Structures are given as C-alpha cells and as structure tokens.
Amino acid sequence: MEEYFKAVKVTENVYWVGAIDWSIRNFHGYETGRGSTYNAFLVLDEKITLIDSVKGPFVGELLARIRSVIGDVTKIDYIVSNHAEPDHSGGLPATIEAIKPEKVFASPVGQKTLTAYYGDLGITPVKTGEAISIGKGNIAFVETKMLHWPDSMVTYLDSEKILFSQDAFGMHLAGSRRFADEYAPFILEYEGRKYFANILNHLAPKVIELLDALPGLNLDIQMIAPDHGPIWRRPEDIRWILDLYRDCAMQLPKPRAVVAFSTMWHSTERLAEALADGIRSAGVEVKVMDLHVNDRSAVMTEVANCGLMAFGAPTMNNQVFPDMADILCYVKGLRPKNKIGFAFGSYGWSGEGGKQIAAELTAMGAEQPCELFQVKYMPTAEDMKRMFENGEKLGRLLLERVK
C-alpha cells in the first residue's frame, strides 16, 4: 500500500490527488525534460466526485492520495473523465474497479473512445449544456472537440468557481509545487509555449474559438485546473495563461528566426552559420539548432515562436538526410502559419535533399522569397558570402512584415 502519498488541498472542498511522473522524457515524440504530472481532483460534496484519473502505472498513487482525504475510496459517488487519452484514462478501469462509483461521466465521443480502449465501463455520456448536481455545487460540461482529441471536454464546478480544463492551459512540468505562482515565470513561459507548439499548434483555430466562447458561457472562473502541470489560482495568472494561449494561437510572425540543420562533413553547418550571421546583422534574433543535439519538439517550439524558419541538410542516398526528414514531417503536421521559409543544403552527387526541403516548405504554406541554395561538396568563400546576403535579405523582409 502506497499510503505515504498525500493529497494537496486546492480549496476547502477540492483536493489534488494526481500523480507526479518525475522520469518521463518522451511523450509520444515530445521531449519532456522536466517530467510531467497527471492531475486528478477530488471534490467533496454530498456526492463526492473524482475529476479525471491518471496513467495506468500511477493508480496506486492516485488511490493513496484519495484515501488520505476520505479514508475509504468507495465513498466516491461520481467519476468524470474529461479526456480518453491513455495518460489520463489508462488508470480508469482499475480506478472504477476500486471505487465502484454510481456513475462515470464522459462526452459522447469519450464514451465511444473509452469503450474502444477498455470495453464497456458503464459510461454515462454528457453533452455541452448539461450539468449534474453534487449537492451544494453543480458540475457543468462543455465539449471541446479537437482540443485536442474528438472526445475532449472541460468541466466547471460552480461552488468553487474552478474550470477543470483537461489538456488545455497545461504543460509538462513535474514538481512538488502545485500552483503556477510557485514557479519562476520563465519556466512557465517556456514550458507553456512548448506545450502549445507541440500539442495544440495545428489546432490553433479551435483554441481561438474556445477563448472567444468563454465569456459567453458566463462562467465565473477563479481557478483553472489542467490535467498536466500547475494550477492557475490568481487572477493575474489566469489572465496570463489565457493571453499566452491567444498569442500562440494567433501565430502572428515575430522578429525571431530559427536555423535548423543536419550535417555530415560540416558543409551544411558552415552554410547555416553564414546564414544566421546575415539574419543577425539585419537586427533579427536568431537561434541555430544542430539536429544532432536538438530534438524535434525543441525545434518546433522555436518555429512556433518565430517569423522565419530555415532548414538545411545534405543529400544522402538520393534523399534528404534522415533526421531532417523527421523534423519536416513533425513540423508540417503541426501546421505552422505565417512563416517565411528558406531551404538550403549541400550534396556530392545528386542534390535531391534541398529540393525536398523546399517542397516541404511549400506544402506548409511558407513564403520562400529566396530560392533554394545548395553547394556541391564544400562551400566556397563566394558561397558563404551569398548565404550571408540571403540571411540579411530574409531578416530585413521579416522586420518589414512585423512592423
């Protein structure tokens, strides 16, 4: 029995009973250098309610935290499953078996998804506009389809004025502190932007729809409790995370550039350095990222927060270098908008790699004001000069765009 796990009081009647995953470093392709949390919340009322579950291996931790508050887990009457992805629902079957609740609620699509994963769990479907009374409080349901799965929904507890926002407004951040105001702002900004870039960027229009719809829902939100990362409990912090999400979702170009490259014998690396120096000389902040030491999620985080993205790689076996192919596939799937793009590279025989990069930038809808630049074997002094000039030109164009 894992009885050393204790719940954390959120309000007088709400407790955090989730789990901390200190060790996770890869979340389906997203590098999670600071780990993560799987947040679940226990609501004390006439009908004791559990909001969300945890990843399968952490059920013991969840149940121990619940017992630290109410002793017997079978006192729980209701479970709400806001999202069926296994990092939240993986522990749901075992949780249901231990608790034996009267009802388990999920969205209509959530019911189907949970059934597909685990068989019939006796889920009661609920739609936007529906609510359940738990005594002094009511829990209202709002479907948020494609934020970020078709089954997703958020729930609002009126008695405590808490929005349980599932994967929205969260981040992958393990820690012993449960509230956002207990963390350094630079950590929250980096992890918040990284989370949006790698989980929600391709769903930006849906995020804007949700942000625009929130005032019309007439919810007095005084706390936002996501399923990953810290809880937002101060008015200024709630405004901050909502503004951050709107900024990310608008995808307006920023005076920043990222130059991501692969290299075999340093030819493409030299081109990247010349290009970056040209961009910098135009007055644009630039980050150079060697794909040998930077993972795809770090690159995407920079891409989402810039106005100019340049990708360079050599050709190998008549194809773009493999780690660049991986990055381009990943970035394209997350649908960055309003970007200036630039493709470059080096080759020894055939030169398909750079052409494939340029084609992928076209598929992303990136404007390419400078044509593909490739060199054979090693760049000459003239090649380096031309790359510097390309950087200057691209930097100036970006600054004109963001005025």
Catalytic residues: 28, 83, 85, 87, 148, 167, 195, 228
Question: Quick check: 204 and 249 in contact, CB under 8 A?
Answer: yes
Q: 5 by DSSP, 3-state: which? A: coil
Question: Quick check: 109 and 81 in contact, CB under 8 A?
Answer: no
Neighbouring residues of 155: CB distance < 8 A, sequence distance ≥ 6: 51, 80, 82, 139, 140, 141, 142, 163, 164
Partner residues linked to 309 by β-bridges: 258, 341
Neighbouring residues of 228: CB distance < 8 A, sequence distance ≥ 6: 36, 37, 38, 39, 167, 170, 171, 172, 173, 195
Please give the structure tokens belonging to residue 37: 């949390």
Separation of CA 326 from chain center = 19
Helix 296-304 / helix 185-195 crossing angle, nearest 10 deg = 100
**Distance of alpha carbon 341 from alpha carbon 325, whole angstroms:** 16
**Distance of alpha carbon 252 from alpha carbon 254, whole angstroms:** 6
Question: Quick check: 354 and 344 in contact, CB under 8 A?
Answer: yes
Q: For the residues of 98-162, what is the DSSP string, one character each?
A: HH--SEEEE-HHHHHHHHHHHS---EEE--TT-EEE-SS-EEEEEE-TTSSSTT-EEEEETTTTE
> In angstroms, what is the C-alpha Rg of the chain?
24
Question: Quick check: 165 and 16 in contact, CB under 8 A?
Answer: no
Determine phi and psi for 30, rounding to 5 degrees: -100, 120
